[in-house]
Homo-oligomer: A and B are copies of this chain.
Amino acid sequence: MPHEVLIVTEAELRRAVRLDLAAVEVVERAFAALAAGGVVMPPVMSMELEAANGEVDVKTAYLPGFDGFAIKVSPGFFDNPALGLPSLNGLMILFSAKTGLAEALFLDNGYLTDLRTAAAGAVAAKWLAPERVETAGVIGTGVQARLQIEAAHLVRPFGRVLVWGRDGAKAATCAADLAASLGVAASAVDDPAALVADSQLVVTTTPAREPVLKADWLHPGLHVTAMGADQSGKNEIEARALAQADLYVADNAAQCARLGELRAAERAGLWQAGLPAELGQIVTGARPGRGAAGDVTICDLTGTGAQDTAIATHALAAVRALGAGIRIAT
């Protein structure tokens, strides 16, 4: 029986797949699947390559109800910039969930990861942020600072954005970029406490190892999404904020306890509520989301293989619809 594998470059993926409500919806379905059971998601396979100053992570997840499962390889080689190459790369392979045959290779250099990470932020905002968000704040000034705010805007069409970063010039550039892409008022601010005070929705997008958002800054009607921590040792939110909030939600409870904000809180003895709610449980209604408009909510996103499977499945449909990619007969 003839079989074809579709090879798709980053440029083609950028043309075919965008950060839009359809991408958010497929990632939301992945979280729902995680909560519903039947998901097979082994721990991340990791190699630390000291000799090459590099590391490689491999993630995968099988989700009932999805036609395929992705295997994602994410290398980080930190001597690359000296060679004129980016440190981070990456690709995904999508396999048929029915036959195990390879369907597509996405040479995305991390683009699909960027999308699925931002889409998870939109899912968190959709289910946890106050109905009415006038101002959104972002702490951090990188690619995810932009994408998280664009994603949140899909589900909470706020009119104003505040940006804080350690480097004021980068914060100003990020604000200008967001003003242009979203058509909203956007400005850099000097004080992260003031940013939080003025926002109903805040996203932290940094690789911080010391908290950049203090518990004292929490105020009624605030939602915070912390998406920077993805390794043990990273920590963006002051530990006591998690228990202080009305609701703390993990993308994956076990993983957040190892790699996310939950880790610091548990180690400090400041989280004793047992297993936290997971985002998929909020989506499916298995656990309640935001209660009152004045509640404080926090969502901890560490990134799951389930999101990779979702975005890869979505990308295959989008690429096929465009007739893009190179078909290889095997």
Residues of A that sit less than 8 Å from B by CB? 1, 3, 5, 7, 9-10, 38, 40, 42-43, 45-49, 51-52, 54, 56, 58, 60, 62, 64, 69, 71, 73, 75-77, 80, 83-85, 89, 91, 93, 95, 97-102, 105, 107, 109, 326, 328-330
Given contacts A42-B47, A328-B9, contact A89 B80 (CB under 8 A): no
Return the chain B residue nearest A64 by Cβ: B51
Q: Which of B38, B77, B93 contacts A51 (CB 8 A)?
A: B38
- Rounded to whole angstroms, the CA-CA distance of A16 and B58 in the bound complex is 29
Return the chain B residue nearest A108 by Cβ: B330
Measured CB to CB, the closest approach of chain B to A107, in angstroms, equals: 5
Measured CB to CB, the closest approach of chain B to A181, in angstroms, equals: 25
Measured CB to CB, the closest approach of chain B to A61, in angstroms, equals: 8
Measured CB to CB, the closest approach of chain B to A108, in angstroms, equals: 9
B60 touches A89 (CB 8 A): no
Given contacts A80-B100, A84-B1, A99-B80, contact A47 B56 (CB under 8 A): no
B80 touches A58 (CB 8 A): no
Return the chain B residue nearest A102 by Cβ: B91
B100 touches A76 (CB 8 A): yes
| A98 proximity list for chain B (CB < 8 A) | 52, 77
